[in-house]
Amino acid sequence: MDRSASASIPSATANGPLVSFPLPSFLTPFIQGKDFSSYYTTAAILVSLLILEQAVYRYKKRHLPGAKWTIPIIGKFADSMSPSMEAYKRQWQSGDLSAVSVFNIFIVMASSNEYARKILNSPTYAEPCLVHSAKQILLPENWVFLTGKTHVEYRRGLNALFTRKALGTYVPIQESICRKHLARWLEAAKKNPKEAQPIMMTARHMNMETSLGVFCGKHIPEHAAEEINEKYWAITQSLELVNFPLALPGTKVYKAIQARKVALHWLELAAHNSKIAMANGAEPECMLDEWVASLADPNYKGRKEFSDHEMAMVLFSFLFASQDAMSSGLIYGFQHLADHPEVMAKVREEQERVRGGDYNQPLTMEMMDKMVYLQAAVKESMRVKPPVLMVPYKATRAFPIADDYTVPANSMVIPSFFNSLHDPEVYPNPEEFVPERWLDPEGSANANPKNYLVFGSGPHRCIGLEYATMNIALVLGMAAAMMTWEHEVTPQSHLSEIIATIFPKDGCRLKLTPTNHAQ
């Protein structure tokens, strides 16, 4: 039996459709003449681009762990908009190096200590890029984006701002502002003594006033500090890992740029006033004064001329670190002491001993040096809950990071710090909060400083790490003397602050009670 369809169909209808049905009228233009051809061509181009996108991703990824295919165009955008610690841990645990793509930005994640340090210590292959909007907010000419010899020389000049002598100048400012804010916290707690209060924004407010006081001293008016503090949250929100990149009115980046303009205006004025004061023979009372004085020192060998704008940009970059990373570190410090009453008791005992029972005497660097257990508690707190989990870098050229893999040029490469800080071979029981691990000079924690990446490594290691650590210790020590507190655990209490806004404004809640030393 002949089963050929064409054998029994008349020639007039052999090439026609076997089934006929009416097409919607809106499709008619696309199937007629040139319109159909344009539609087909456009569709073919789009399909080709999508195929090319997948091919390029697979080529760059090679054998690295990661999704075999990337979601067209957006990649892992949805995941980046709602990051979670669990998702990051899965990524890190997938391999020492792993790959991901977001909006066609190819990203290599480095989770091991070896690869994280290699990125941080390879300025000829990679430079810090923070997030896409960072240069728009901090300004592309900001010193934090410098590389090579220019960056080294610029940074060398800033080292004078964090000498022991300079830090000693800052202590009275830090203590005065800390006492004032803790007293405010206690006064607010009196109104609702049984109710825990959120401390994130109040801690940030204290850090902002402390930073501006240390950086600018009396050279910035009080109302200016309040204005900067009020507007700075817009800057924090704009520096999320993924954000709308264009500074259109109403966007986070646009609002941040307006806030930056306000901050730089006042910081430039402070730099101008400091130069005048120091020229008139005043003694250094703040960071700007220390900077101007160091430039005037005949023994100073570096660059001696900095405009008000350049000085303001440096201070603005310091504000960024003190507002986000330092606030996060401080909040987790409060949580850890509340969650470990045995540690809190030791901190209080040390405060009593070092201060000799006199809580009204001014703090000094020498007194801070004697608070060894407090310093160990701060160091451990930042290890368990690092204020910064990762710092995005950009590969400026093909980066042979491993024997069998080269990061493509212009890719993002992100060193992650969490695994280094939770290595069980270096920190036994790494999830546990144990300040005592830092008291033994021969212990594995102190014997492996390369694992402690809280402040990064290499040429871009945090320049203000002593200042940040000292400020957190000062606040926690003063708080332990002035009050007791209980931690009301919430679902957000133990989120690591991957980006500043992942920590909800009411995520950390404390119930405060004054001690006899509150006054």
Positions at the binding site for heme:
462
Strands (E), 19-137: 97-102, 105-110, 126-128
CA-to-CA distance for 40 and 268, rounded, in angstroms?
A: 58
- DSSP tag of 436: G
Give the residue ranges of the annotated binding site. Answer: 462
Which residues make Cβ contacts (< 8 Å) with residue 115, sequence separation at least 6?
A: 96, 97, 401, 402, 415
Cα–Cα dist 501/487, whole Å: 21
d(Cα 490, Cα 421) in Å, to the nearest integer?
25
Decide the pairing of beta strands 126-128 and 393-395.
antiparallel
Residue 395: phi and psi, rounded to 5, are: -75, 110
Cα-based distances in Å from 32 to 42, 44, 381, 384: 15, 17, 69, 66
Report the distance separating Cα 429 and Cα 383, nearest Å. 12
CB of 148 within 8 A of CB of 123?
yes
- Output b/e per residue, 154-178; b: 16+ Cβ within 10 A: bbebbebbbeeebbebbbebbbebb
Residue type, 316: F
